[in-house]
Structure formats: C-alpha cells, structure tokens
Chains A and B, each alone.
Chain A
Amino acid sequence: MRRFTWFNATSITLGFVFLYLPIILLVIYSFNDSRLVTVWGGFSGRWYGEALRNDAFLSAAWNTLQVALVTATVATVLGTLAAIVLVRGGRFLGRTLFGGMVYAPLVMPEVITGLSLLLLFVSLDVPRGLMTIMLAHITFAMCYASVVISARLVSFDRSLEEAALDLGCNQFSAFLRVTLPNILPSIIAAWLLSFTLSLDDLVIASFTSGPGATTLPMRIYSQVRLGVTPEINALSSMLVGLVTVGVIVASLISKRAETRRLAAERAAR
C-alpha cells in the first residue's frame, strides 16, 4: 500500500469533487422543500412523492424499463454469439471485417448512429415507437456486451471444452455444461451493462422514437427545457441511484468471478 501524503489526499479530493459535486448537489436539492430549485427551503421528501404521482413520468419510466429489459436480454444473447464466433471461430473469411463491424458502434458518435437508424426506419417505412428504440439500443448495446464476454472467453481454458468433448459431450452440450457456467459472471455483467446503457440513453432514443414512445431521459430533457423543477431533481436522483446500483453489482460480480478464477489458476500451477 502506498503511503498517505497530503498531496495524494488533496488531489483525490479535488478529483472526486470535480466529478461528483454536481450529482451530490442534485441529490441534495431533490430534498428541498421549496418550489424554487436554487433556494433552500428546508428538508422534505415531497418531490419524490410528486414525481411518483406524475403520470407522464410514470409512463415514460415504464417505457424505459421495457426498452431496457428487452435490449439487455437480446443484446446479451447476440453479444455472446458474436463473442463466441470472434474468439472461438478460428480464421474464417471476413473475420476481421466482422470483428470491426461488431465493435464499430463503440466509437461511432451517437448522433450518427441515431440519424442513420432514423433514415433506415423511414426508408423502410417502419412505424416508429418503442420497437424501433429497442432495435436501436440493441445494435449499440450488443457491441459492449460482446466486448465484455469476449474478454472472458479469451482467457477461458480451451482444454476444458476438450475435456467435456472427451467425456462424452457434443459441441453444443460442452458449451452448455462447461463453457456457459464458467463465463456466466461476464454474461450477467454484460446484461447489467446493456441495461444501464439503454436506461440512460437520450440521443439515440430521441432519433428513433415515435409518437407515444417517450422514454424517461427524453421526458426529463423536454421538461428541463421549460425550467428545472424539484420534481426533476427527485426523479434524476432515483435514476442515479438505480444506475449506480446496477454498475456496482455488475462490477462486483465480475470482480468476484475474476478473483476466484485467478485463485483457481494459481492453484493449478
């Protein structure tokens, strides 16, 4: 462990303040009793109640949740398949191109992704709504999922699969009985990551949504343009809490699996 110095302590404090002060302020003001956002009027939880009674917010939240659940599930399945092909498929024609295309949305500006999807849906005459938001979210969440899962697959000992084949499994049951249980933590992490990404996306959802399909970030954004209300603060605080829990759980799961795997590998030597 490194020694404690005032320099270290100061820099880490400044860093965290820079990153988290706005969020902390938001959470604090969500408990503000006053209707004016910037004037402290005493502690109250009433805006949480107001936000939860706001039908527009609730229906947007329900939309968001549906989109996020479907996105996370489909993106994880597709991401797993892509990771298996990329890591295990060996050399096949177009492998580099396929790999590049799977990972491209990682670096693609969201505006471009959103715009191109909008053009696609319009030209194919697909009615826009929750369905199109889901499709759009799946395309970009899938590449994050496949990155997470392929990182685990790369370090997965291939001889385990061979042992399963040797002991009587065919390719499919070897995957199901040996590979899958061992990469499960990374699959869960990929699901949570996709879920979180879908939950807080504004840009792509705005491009691909249609009438009646408003997600929570879109609702908040449109509300804020008319002025920030304490209700928004409360709602945002709840979102922050949800995302934080998701990210923490995902990282805990993958970290615990990682340490267990390392311990197992150390013991193997």
Chain B
Amino acid sequence: MSDTHNGDVAREDQALRALFAAVPEPADSGFTDRVMDRISTRVRRRRLVIALAAVLGVGIAAWPLAQLVVQASDGIRALVVEAIGVDWLSQYRPLLAGAVLALLTPVLVALIEE
C-alpha cells in the first residue's frame, strides 16, 4: 500500500465522518418516557396474567392435587409402618400433606412465571 493510497483512505474516512457528524443524534423529546410507559404497562399486564393463570391453575389442579397428596401420604405411611412397625404418621397426615404442597408451590409458581 502506497502512502498516497493511505492518504486517500484517511481523507475519505474523514469526509465520511464529517458527513455523519453534520446530522446530530435525535434529542430525547419524551422518547424515554414513552418507552418506560409502555414497559410499565407490559409489567402490570404480565403480573395480572400470572395472577390469573395461578388462580386458574389452582382452580383446575386443586382436586387432583389434593387426591395426589393424600395418596402420596398414604403410601409414605404404609412404607413407614412396614419399616418400623409403628403407625405414628397417621396423626401427622394433614401436616405431611401441607408440607408436600408447600414444597411444590415454589416450583409451580416458577413454572407459571417461565
């Protein structure tokens, strides 16, 4: 590459930069507010949809889930009775059901949010 060629390229670069520099970046003029308003609306709408989906999901899944928890706790109780021969778990059955539901809830909420 000759010095003349490099000089030409530099001059063209400079000229192109000057061409673009003549057009300033657009001023904000409320643009940021418009974007943030749209984002706030989206966030509110998303929260509402998640809440509605959660209510609907719980409504649909409540009965089968309760059945599942009862079955699971019966199974666990049977296993414990078989293993240690004492049926002490039956009195804690509601507690066990609650614990299982409490463990499942964050997983369900995370799934809905995703």
A and B interact: no
**Taking beta carbons and an 8 Å cutoff, which residues of A are in contact with B?**
none
